[in-house]
Structure 1
Amino acid sequence: MKKGTNKDFMQIKESPYRGCTQLMIYQKTRKNLLRKITSIFEKLNIQITEANIVTLNNNSSIDTYLLLDSSGKQIKNKYMLNDLKNNIEQVLIDPEKVKISKRTKKASYAKDFTSVLDVEVYSKNNSVTIEVNALDSPGLLSSICEVMDDSNLMIKDAKVSTLGEQVNDIFFVESINFDNFDNFSKKIKNKLKQKLSDLYNSQM
């Protein structure tokens, strides 16, 4: 188990569950960190089959990811594992130094995927839940986190599940001050649908 600053910990090991590689991180909760971690997976062509983020009472979180390589198998390549370890350590030690690469769209006919994306937003007891059902794609979770960050939403807990080509992502975000929930809900739905539609188009 590796230790960074601020008492952060990281562990990578084989998981008997579905033959995946398990990445576990204990870290101080910081804005943009989830987005940067998921962007590392995208950069290394690592697939996320399942993820759980749980925020603790001490403002730290335990993040658990089940990962596969680009061929859908457990990550065995020692160089990829070393790259993963080094990149995650760098994010934990000094997240401000880690830059997120901007995705470039291919110059091709843009298809509208928004109709096949299901985004629901719920509000209960001053908490907000955002649920996304979509087709799995490289960079999907990173794109969702980008929208959350740009909308000044702090993800407190999350559960990500992949079943075949379908992904179900549920996010519990920090209490938000807004005057009109319906207006907020409509805006975040539109932003997420447009972002993911752009993602799909960039990979056509």
Structure 2
Amino acid sequence: MLKAVTLLSDIQDRGESNEDATGEETEQTGEDVEKAGEDVGNQEELTLQLDSVWPGHVLRSVRCAAHTLQLAVGDALKQASNIIAKARHVAKRLRTQNVVCVLKRMGHKRAIVDCATRWHSTHDMLRRLLELKTFCEDMAPTIPVLHLSDSEWEYVSNTVNALKPAKIATKCLQSDQLTADTPKKPV
């Protein structure tokens, strides 16, 4: 989509002529002339269609809000990769057969292991890890891998609290069909 919008925007920016920014004709090879000859009909038709839909406006690319938010959160989480990696290691240990049996007997839910490329799952993993915090603290003397320092637990809690609004916003953006409105034609 981005490539298509970029190409359409370039066509609209160039207008009907092959002039560059200095106003001089650009030099074309034989192959370019053939392509241009084929594209002229398409370009004129496209320009007419674009002008009939939205006269006088230039087509521009607008990035998907949900994807932009995903990228921003992903970049922010890269800053905390060492603590998240440690939390992931704890979650994996909580999913071993022996620990799962103990968790089940105590009435706790299973730990969630995230997919490192999907921050939603990282949020879910950290949230579940917070639910299992007392279990981890109680079992840490027997299973040292389950130990996280107080500052690490606080960081996990802050990360979950920070990601919750972004997760809600992403779900809302993904569920809605958001499109730019075209101006209504006078009747």
Higher strand share: 1
Q: What TM-score comes out, normalization by structure 2 length?
A: 0.22
> Which structure would you say has the larger Rg?
2
Higher helix share: 2
Q: What TM-score comes out, normalization by structure 1 length?
A: 0.21
